[in-house]
Amino acid sequence: MLDNMLDALKKTPELLTIYEKLKTTLQERYPATVIACQASQIAFVHDELPYLVVTLPHRKKAGQEPYLILSVFLSKRLDNPRFVQITEPYANVWLHHLFLHCVQDLDTDILQWIDLAYRENELTSIPKITHV
């Protein structure tokens, strides 16, 4: 199913560039990462637990610049104005959603949050991914 998500990204070269930079960065930093692809999202997984999910917006307003939605799994809520939404889909599992409009948005703040999420593999309350 990777082709579905990649096909969607290929329609917007800016988004494909952002995704490729993110993927390369995470594979270099965390070689044990497995990429689990579905039709509408790409999950970055460590020890069968997702620590980051990339999706496209469901709807885009006319004239709005394209962006990727990054969802970072953390064990506690972090308040920061860059997060557009924070949810708790499972007990003690907080999803922090933010937008990436360009490669430069992938900065040290975001990489620190991703690093924290990668190291927090004790998040056993979220469903394990059983197929890749």
Task: Tell me the CB-side half-sphere exposure of residue 76, using CA atoms within 13 A.
Answer: 3
Burial (0-12, 13-18, 19+ Cβ within 10 Å), 21: middle
Please report the pLDDT score of residue 1 as a whole number. Answer: 40
Average pLDDT over residues 77-100: 94
* Predicted pLDDT of residue 95: 95
More confident residue, 6 or 29: 29
Percentage of residues in the chain having pLDDT higher than 90: 61
Under the banding of pLDDT at 50, 70 and 90, the label for residue 127 is: low
- Integer Cα distance of 95 and 88 in angstroms: 6
CB atoms within 10 A of CB 80: 10
Q: Whole-number mean pLDDT of the chain?
A: 86
Contact indicator for 110, 83 with CB cutoff of 8 Å: no
